[in-house]
Amino acid sequence: MINKVVCSLMLICFSVAGAFSQSCVPCFTATPDSSNPLVINLDASCSNASSSAIYDWYMDGLPIGVMNQPIFQIPFYQGGSYTITLLLNDGTCYDSVSQNINIQAGCNASFINYTVTPSSQYFYHLGIYSNTASYQWDFGDGNTGSGPSVLHTYTATGTYPVCLTITDSSCTDVSCQNITITSTNPSSCVASFVPYVDTLLGMLYADASSSSYDPFNTYFSWYLNGSLLQQSASPYFNAPVLIPGTYTLSLVLSDTSLNSCDSTTQVIVYNNSLPNSSCFSCFNYSYNATYDSVYLTSCSIVPNNGSILWYVNGNTFAGGNGPFLQGFANYGYQTVGIYVLDSLNMVCDSFFQYVYTYQPPCTSCLTVTPVAGSTSDYIFDGSCSALNYAYNWYVNGNYIATSYSNTFTYSFNQSGTYQICVESMDSIGNYCSQNCTSVTVNTPTSTVFDLAGRIYKYDNTFQYVPVTQGEAKVYLIKLITGGILDAVDSTISDANGYYSFQNKPIDDYRVKVALNPSSPDYAINIPTYYNSGIMWYDANVITLFSNLYSRDVYMQYGINNGGNGFISGSVFQGANKGGKTRSGSAQDVTLILIDLATNEPIAYTKPNASGNYSFSNIPNGSYKVYGELLNRASIPDNIVISAAQNVFANKNFMYSNTLIQPTNQALSVNEIPTLSDVMISPNPAKQSCTIQNDEVARQVTVLDITGRFVESFDLKSGEKKLLDCSSWKAGIYMIQSNANGRTKTTKLLVQ
């Protein structure tokens, strides 16, 4: 397991009162965790709030957690200034408070290593990253490297002293470790492990990463007293040993077909008493370089009727005890953590680790040339790439094909400028990073395509099943002139649950499905966008560039368990009551009821012809009511149903051309959803480009295609900025803008 590391933190706090009712007052402290200063403990116990209050946490405007108790933790891995905001929801009152936290990197040269092959080690720095520091490595074999993470291959066996020296503007630190290389043969197989018994918790751990093995074709089978307890690609083992005694732990190494190649056994004596802790958080992980992912396994002690939540880069999810494979979109530092919850769903312990996923040590290469005599056919050539077993080809970010030849012929069906990318890989699945170029096509051919899929609903047996003939209506939505999303076509499901839109031009589309009121399962299926979003700004966009099938929609379901709660209101457009956005349009307002305890929908409804809506038979609890409508940002109304108050009337919503919101509250700084794209011209760019913002002030961050930081700046509403990209490498860059808790990403191609 990774040792917890230390950094210095300077906390500078100020509070900003929200523009809500003052009958509840939010307050929180932010302090470093005593066992891991990289983790900040947030404690809102000082708030004036009831026991049923909801604590909604944000960092730099982005939501990071909704809790029904005042304690929360946030890990950090990069220095800088962060704004933490608490939105307190106490049923009938709302308020917010913010603090600025300044994380200082300092100098801490601690590092760990990961075995890629028996002779190749990946080293990465564990402390807070500083973009002003230099990171110098001495591998102990006469070779050196630089950067916060490096891959090094040794040419001979032996023990090597590896040292990292960090030098920043005001400090220097050095850390060294001995690294033992047992083999330079990637296919060697030698089983070895180091056991450890936690006598406080009664847990037996073992680390087999010192073994010699092929990391892409090895299984670790662990036997305790002759019984197989764990079998996976992870070299880490954990199991409870609650009874004192003598234990025999055996490790068998095998390939993925379970053909064994070596084994070893150790005897462990455990003489301690039973563990005295009923809540303890821990997990093991191992890195999988093939998929740029980690295997996660919980070794936590969970109270009776408790549960665990996994934390990955700001998102929480219930993943069970594992092991399971967690992937990452970009390489670099990843923050992985685990929360242990007791029977009341309260966090009783948590633990975080920092995992570094690395860029493959090679770069793909690509040339694109037209086929002689053709205006639409082009040859993609990846023969200059480092790896040459197979090639994945992409056009405008869409996967096209995998070929085992380094050339690929592609026919364009429409004129325009296209981004072409290739990523090469070797025979055991190692990928080079993508390499991209652009080509401008002028072809007289203009082709239309078909888009189709199947619709699955949630039925009264609590299973996903296909819809039936005419049971669902499907809308095809695209961006039309003026920057407005609109339904350009509609159809109904066939007898097998399929839908199809035919002869559609190349474009970006959204697909939305709603059951007809005559469906027996109408009440429990929320209108859903492909793939499974219930709000238009969460919909997966389908880029139609060829015939696309199997674009299946799994409808979101809502189960109302019943109660005495009742909510009603009306929907207004300006001063006029009504349930439709435009005369004759099928895009009605949808009211969605979200249960804050699970953050899942439990019911939805639509306004009637007079604009009135209602939810009935709702259990006690805390809820948000959202109005969903194309092109509109959505601000929810917050409602707490209890025995003391279970009827809420006049919960009205009003919508304009840009927003749908409750009529009884002002805009919340943290709940203004979608942003439009910033305007970039020219795109593709060569020496420079202009970025223009036509909306609210936002912060803009530029990342390269691998997710590495390039630069950041602020844009005021209506402001233009000239961006100098003359020194950037050619390729695709992500222009990521953030405002009011929402993020929008636009691609920029630099030639």
What is the distance between the alpha carbons of residues 251 and 532, in angstroms, rounded to a whole number? 43
pTM score, whole prediction: 0.40
Residues 355, 294 contacting (CB under 8 angstroms): yes
What pLDDT, on the 0 to 100 scale, is given for residue 689? 84
pLDDT at 669 over 70: no
DSSP string, 455-495: EEEE-TTS-EEE--TTSEEEEEEEEETTTEEEEEEEEE--T
Give the pair of three-digit tokens for residue 589: 């307002």
Kindly state the average pLDDT of the residues 50-68. Answer: 77
Residues 325 and 228 placed together within one structural domain of the fold? yes
pLDDT at 21 over 50: no
What is the distance between the alpha carbons of residues 698 and 649, in angstroms, rounded to a whole number? 37
Residues 46, 25 contacting (CB under 8 angstroms): no
Is residue 187 very low, low, confident or very high in pLDDT (cuts 50, 70, 90)? low
Give the pair of three-digit tokens for residue 727: 């020194």
Residues 426, 387 contacting (CB under 8 angstroms): yes
Residues 225 and 334 placed together within one structural domain of the fold? yes
Comparing 207-216, 428-437, 641-650, 660-669, the range with the smallest average pLDDT is 660-669
**Beta pairing class for 565-573 and 647-648:** parallel
Q: Which residue has the higher pLDDT, 558 or 233?
A: 558
Is residue 469 very low, low, confident or very high in pLDDT (cuts 50, 70, 90)? very high
C-alpha distances (whole Å) from 241 to each of 223, 249, 268, 280, 595 are 13, 12, 11, 15, 40
What is the distance between the alpha carbons of residues 632 and 74, in angstroms, rounded to a whole number? 31
Is residue 576 very low, low, confident or very high in pLDDT (cuts 50, 70, 90)? low
206 DSSP β-pair partners: 195, 237
Residues 571, 655 contacting (CB under 8 angstroms): yes
The helix (H) or strand (E) run that includes residue 637 is strand 637-641
What is the distance between the alpha carbons of residues 195 and 206, in angstroms, rounded to a whole number? 4
Kindly state the average pLDDT of the residues 426-446. Answer: 74
Kindly state the average pLDDT of the residues 224-231. Answer: 84
Residues 51 and 174 placed together within one structural domain of the fold? no
Is residue 356 very low, low, confident or very high in pLDDT (cuts 50, 70, 90)? low
What is the distance between the alpha carbons of residues 101 and 85, in angstroms, rounded to a whole number? 11
pLDDT tens-digit readout, 81-108: 888 988 888 877 778 888 988 887 778 8
pLDDT at 707 over 60: no
Residues 205 and 333 placed together within one structural domain of the fold? yes
pLDDT tens-digit readout, 383-420: 888 777 788 888 877 777 788 888 988 888 777 888 89
Residues 314 and 227 placed together within one structural domain of the fold? yes
Cβ count near 87 (within 10 Å): 25
Comparing 393-397, 644-648, 677-681, the range with the smallest average pLDDT is 677-681
Comparing 158-172, 231-245, 254-268, 570-584, the range with the smallest average pLDDT is 570-584
What is the distance between the alpha carbons of residues 332 and 329, in angstroms, rounded to a whole number? 10
The SS3 call for residue 392 is: strand
619 part of a folded domain: yes
Residues 582 and 704 placed together within one structural domain of the fold? no
Give the pair of three-digit tokens for residue 63: 């939501």
720 part of a folded domain: yes
pLDDT at 665 over 50: yes
For the chain, what is the mean pLDDT? 78
Percent of the chain topping pLDDT 90: 19
What pLDDT, on the 0 to 100 scale, is given for residue 159? 92
Residues, the chain? 751
Give the CATH number of the domain where residue 695 resides: 2.60.40.2550
Closest of 297, 295, 326 to residue 313, by C-alpha:
326
Contacts of 554 (CB under 8 A, 6+ apart): 456, 464, 528, 531, 532
Contacts of 243 (CB under 8 A, 6+ apart): none
187 part of a folded domain: no
Residues 205 and 340 placed together within one structural domain of the fold? yes
Give the CATH number of the domain where residue 58 resides: 2.60.40.10
Terminal Cα distance for the chain, rounded: 44
What pLDDT, on the 0 to 100 scale, is given for residue 12? 28
Give the pair of three-digit tokens for residue 661: 């919101």
Kindly state the average pLDDT of the residues 177-195. Answer: 81
Residues 62 and 117 placed together within one structural domain of the fold? no
Q: Which residue has the higher pLDDT, 571 or 15?
A: 571
57 DSSP β-pair partners: 65, 86
Question: What are the phi and psi torsion angles at 611 (to 5°)?
Answer: 85, 10
What pLDDT, on the 0 to 100 scale, is given for residue 416? 80
pLDDT at 4 over 70: no
pLDDT at 234 over 80: no
DSSP 8-state assignment for residue 537:
G
pLDDT at 447 over 60: yes
Q: Which of 130, 146, 181 is the last residue of a domain?
A: 181
DSSP 8-state assignment for residue 140:
S
Residues 413, 392 contacting (CB under 8 angstroms): no
What pLDDT, on the 0 to 100 scale, is given for residue 480? 67
Question: What are the phi and psi torsion angles at 537 (to 5°)?
Answer: -80, -5
CB-based contacts of 243-250 (< 8 A; 24+ apart in sequence):
244/270, 244/271, 244/272, 244/273, 245/269, 245/270, 246/270, 247/204, 248/223, 248/224, 249/193, 249/195, 249/204, 249/206, 249/222, 249/223, 249/224, 250/222, 250/223, 250/224, 250/226
DSSP string, 541-603: PEEESS-B----EE-EE------SEEEEEEEEETTEE-SBSSTT-S-B-EEEEEETTTTEEEE
Cα angle at 465 between 464 and 470, to 5 degrees? 130
DSSP string, 65-131: EEESSSEEEEE--B-EEEEEEEEEE-SS-EEEEEEEEEE-------EEEEEEETTEEEEEE-S-B-T
**CA atoms within 13 Å, Cβ hemisphere of 206:** 29
Kindly state the average pLDDT of the residues 204-227. Answer: 81
Q: Which residue has the higher pLDDT, 429 or 126?
A: 126
What is the distance between the alpha carbons of residues 335 and 332, in angstroms, rounded to a whole number? 10
538 part of a folded domain: yes
Kindly state the average pLDDT of the residues 331-353. Answer: 77
What pLDDT, on the 0 to 100 scale, is given for residue 7? 31
Is residue 161 very low, low, confident or very high in pLDDT (cuts 50, 70, 90)? very high
What is the distance between the alpha carbons of residues 342 and 71, in angstroms, rounded to a whole number? 13
What residues make up the domain containing 412?
367-441
Give the pair of three-digit tokens for residue 637: 């109304």
pLDDT at 361 over 50: yes
DSSP 8-state assignment for residue 432:
P
pLDDT at 655 over 90: no
512 part of a folded domain: yes
Contacts of 372 (CB under 8 A, 6+ apart): none
Q: What is the 3-state secondary structure (H, E, C) of 19-78?
A: CCCCCCECCCEEEECCCCCCEEEEECCCCECCCCCEEEEEECCEEEEEECCCEEEEECCE
Q: Which of 508, 527, 557 is the last residue of a domain?
A: 557
What pLDDT, on the 0 to 100 scale, is given for residue 277? 54
pLDDT at 9 over 50: no
Residues 116 and 83 placed together within one structural domain of the fold? no
Residues 654 and 683 placed together within one structural domain of the fold? no
Residues 202 and 348 placed together within one structural domain of the fold? yes
Contacts of 494 (CB under 8 A, 6+ apart): 469
What pLDDT, on the 0 to 100 scale, is given for residue 732? 67
Write the single-letter amino acid at 153: T
Give Rg (Cα) of the chain: 28
Residues 733, 722 contacting (CB under 8 angstroms): no
Closest of 390, 428, 425 to residue 407, by C-alpha:
390
Comparing 230-244, 272-286, 625-639, 723-737, the range with the smallest average pLDDT is 272-286
pLDDT tens-digit readout, 471-525: 999 999 987 655 577 888 999 999 999 999 998 887 788 999 999 989 999 989 9
What pLDDT, on the 0 to 100 scale, is given for residue 275? 42
Most confident of 51-55, 145-149, 596-600, 624-628: 624-628
Residues 551 and 640 placed together within one structural domain of the fold? no
Is residue 373 very low, low, confident or very high in pLDDT (cuts 50, 70, 90)? confident
- Domain count of the fold of the chain: 7
225 part of a folded domain: yes
What pLDDT, on the 0 to 100 scale, is given for residue 5? 28
pLDDT at 216 over 70: no
Q: Which residue has the higher pLDDT, 637 or 741?
A: 637
468 part of a folded domain: yes
What pLDDT, on the 0 to 100 scale, is given for residue 497? 94
What is the distance between the alpha carbons of residues 584 and 600, in angstroms, rounded to a whole number? 31
Residues 421, 399 contacting (CB under 8 angstroms): no
What pLDDT, on the 0 to 100 scale, is given for residue 10? 29
Kindly state the average pLDDT of the residues 42-54. Answer: 87
246 part of a folded domain: yes
Give the pair of three-digit tokens for residue 400: 């096209």
What pLDDT, on the 0 to 100 scale, is given for residue 619? 94
pLDDT at 592 over 90: yes
What is the distance between the alpha carbons of residues 65 and 60, in angstroms, rounded to a whole number? 13
What is the distance between the alpha carbons of residues 336 and 66, in angstroms, rounded to a whole number? 18
Q: In what order do the strands lie in the sheet with 742-750?
A: 709-715, 698-704, 731-739, 742-750
